[in-house]
Amino acid sequence: MPLHTIEPRRLYRQIAEQLRTLIRQGEYAVGSRLPAERDLAVQLGVSRPSVREALIALEVEGLVEVRVGSGVHVVAREPSARGLAAAQVEEFGLFEIIRARQLVEGELAAIVARSASPELLRELRGALVRMEDEIAAGAMPIAGDRLFHLLIAQAADNGPLLRMVTQLYDMRNSPLFEKFGHHFEDAASWRKAVAEHRAVVKALAAHDPEAARAAMQRHLQRSHDRFADSWPQVEELAAAAPTG
């Protein structure tokens, strides 16, 4: 059963469904290695980030396992009940959530820059200290990061937009997002994020709306890129080795 080009609609779920079907029908047997991410992207006519979302979704379901240095392996023909239930709670893909945040939070940063108070700047710097402390303790600095982004949204003094930012941020608590974090977030990537946050604070302190918008959008774009561009060991080995 050959793969076929799919329509750009709910992309990662369509990709996951095709791969799920091929696994169920035995085209990719349990114990075999899936083709490299870039090869799947070419065959399906989609982007590599979309394929990555689909592979992570299948990992959440318990169908595949991503092994750094070995590739993506099929571990079951059918999703586990627990994994399927976890996958079904996903309403949006990780990359579209980040793009939405980039649009909304960039504009909020520009709004807040016009009147950022000394108190807000102190609170934002405190959130960065909290992030650094969490990293130093060997933890992912989610609490400090969440506080930083919500402080800016709150300072814009618009309840519906604050709710939107809160809901978008808290979508990272989903199984799909958590699995992405497991693979692609570490102390080094979070230190880069802290530096990007500092650029946002600098622009807010200068009361420069354009610079604040650009700094926030750049931070979220780099967050997007970190999830999209990593995974080289998996890719190199999968491309070099047979899939059987």
Residue 5 has pLDDT above 60, yes or no: no
pLDDT band, very low/low/confident/very high, at 244 (cuts 50, 70, 90): very low
Q: What is the pLDDT of residues 50-86, one digit of tens each?
A: 999 999 999 999 999 988 777 899 999 998 877 666 6
pTM over the 0.75 mark: yes
Domain range annotation of the chain: 11-90, 94-229
Which CATH code is given to the segment(s) 94-229? 1.20.120.530
Residue 38 has pLDDT above 80, yes or no: yes
Cβ atoms of residues 165 and 116 within 8 Å: no
**Alpha-carbon span 116 to 36, nearest angstrom:** 47
The CATH class given to the 11-90 domain equals mainly alpha
User: Three-class SS of residue 59?
Assistant: helix
**Alpha-carbon span 243 to 22, nearest angstrom:** 14
Instruction: For residue 167, count other CB atoms closer than 10 A to its CB.
Output: 10
User: Three-class SS of residue 63?
Assistant: coil
pLDDT band, very low/low/confident/very high, at 91 (cuts 50, 70, 90): confident
Cβ atoms of residues 152 and 109 within 8 Å: yes
Question: Which pair of structure tokens corresponds to residue 195?
Answer: 């530096």
